[in-house]
A = this chain, B = another copy of it.
Amino acid sequence: MAAPTLERPTGTAGATQTVTLAKALNLGLRASLERDPKVLVMGEDVGRLGGVFRITDGLQKDFGEHRVLDTPLAESGIIGTAIGLAIRGYRPVCEIQFDGFIFPGFDQIISQLAKLHFRSQGKVKMPIVVRVPFGGGIGAVEHHSESPESLFAHIGGLKVVSCSNPVDAYWMIQQAIECDDPVLFFEPKRRYYEKSELDTTVDPAPLFSSRVLRGGSSATVAAYGPMVRTCLDAATAAEEDGIDLEVIDLRTLSPLDLGPVFDSVRRTGRLVLASEAPGESSVTSEIATQVQQECFYSLEAPVLRATGFDTPYPPSKLEEGYLPDLDRVLDVVDRSLAY
């Protein structure tokens, strides 16, 4: 993995500020737009409105209509024209308004975005970031709470990451934009307004790396995006019962960086995976498969999962039940410990 090459924006060097995850993304996008004139932001309502979540707030005002584009309403058009712009030498950052609306753009993602580098054997680069606010928990109507990340993780030629906190959000979006490969960037929309300290002088971890957030010895819990916070809370709650959970933020879903997970499982002997997405044929299936292979002799229990059910996302009054929460994660931990 190449060392991060991001220069720190000089204006804010050394500054530590308290920011929301949404604001961190906004600052990261701003830094990228400042650093490289080839970076474009495009999508529905990203311009004057600043996006329905205000992630692109103020960017069109400061960088102009040719850097921050309000596009016609069609996702295949957004991805498809971004591909042409990338061929022309631009680095488009596309916003898909909600997770459930990425599917009209699926064909361009699978057939062109993922394949052009391979098809051309490196002559055509695809430095495109597709930002997707994803997951549930915000009381929304249908199609606004989905977790489609596994579909992209299955596809060779794409890279898939997800941030879980403001600091990562700030750096990961910039690293994704700097990456010469197409990156599907999943943003945990129900965590947009969670805050933390952001010190822009601290070197970021490489983009495609997982990270142990909390050491522990009873069992390992790994998650990404919105479920990371849930798992950290679960670990805190478990402490009271004398259960010492190690928590890993996967951060990258394709390529997976399972080294830290293998190391952890070799120590704890137990792994629980948590995600909002349905479990069936998913990223968590892949991780379980690799872990049972790599840690076969270390596992004291099968790899278990706390995931969304294999149903369509339910009406929002039911989402609390659909989404694995602290209790469900701990229930699965208990089942793991019972082996």
- Give per-residue flags for A293-336: 1 if the beta carbon is below 8 A from chain B beta carbons, else 0: 10010010111110001111000000000000000000000000
Q: Does A180 lie at the interface of the complex (its beta carbon under 8 Å from any beta carbon of B)?
A: no
The docked-state distance in angstroms from the alpha carbon of A305 to that of B111 is 26
The docked-state distance in angstroms from the alpha carbon of A309 to that of B154 is 11
Q: Does A115 lie at the interface of the complex (its beta carbon under 8 Å from any beta carbon of B)?
A: yes
Q: Does A234 lie at the interface of the complex (its beta carbon under 8 Å from any beta carbon of B)?
A: no
- Is the Cβ of B115 less than 8 Å from the Cβ of A312? yes
Chain A count of residues within 8 A CB distance of the other chain? 47
**Contact (A156, B312) CB under 8 Å given A292-B303, A293-B302:** yes
Residue of B103, B278, B286, B296 near A281 (CB, 8 A) is B286
Copies of this chain, complex-wide, total: 2
Residues in A88-134 with C-beta less than 8 Å from chain B: 100, 103-104, 106-107, 110-111, 114-115, 118-119
- Chain B residues closer than 8 Å to A118, beta-carbon distance: 311-312
- Is the Cβ of A143 less than 8 Å from the Cβ of B111? yes
- Is the Cβ of A293 less than 8 Å from the Cβ of B304? yes
Chain B: minimal CB distance from A101 (Å): 9
Residue of B107, B286, B296 near A302 (CB, 8 A) is B296
Please name 7 pairs of A and B residues whose Cβ atoms are closer than 8 Å in the assembled complex, sorted by A: A103-B111, A106-B106, A119-B142, A119-B312, A156-B310, A285-B285, A288-B292
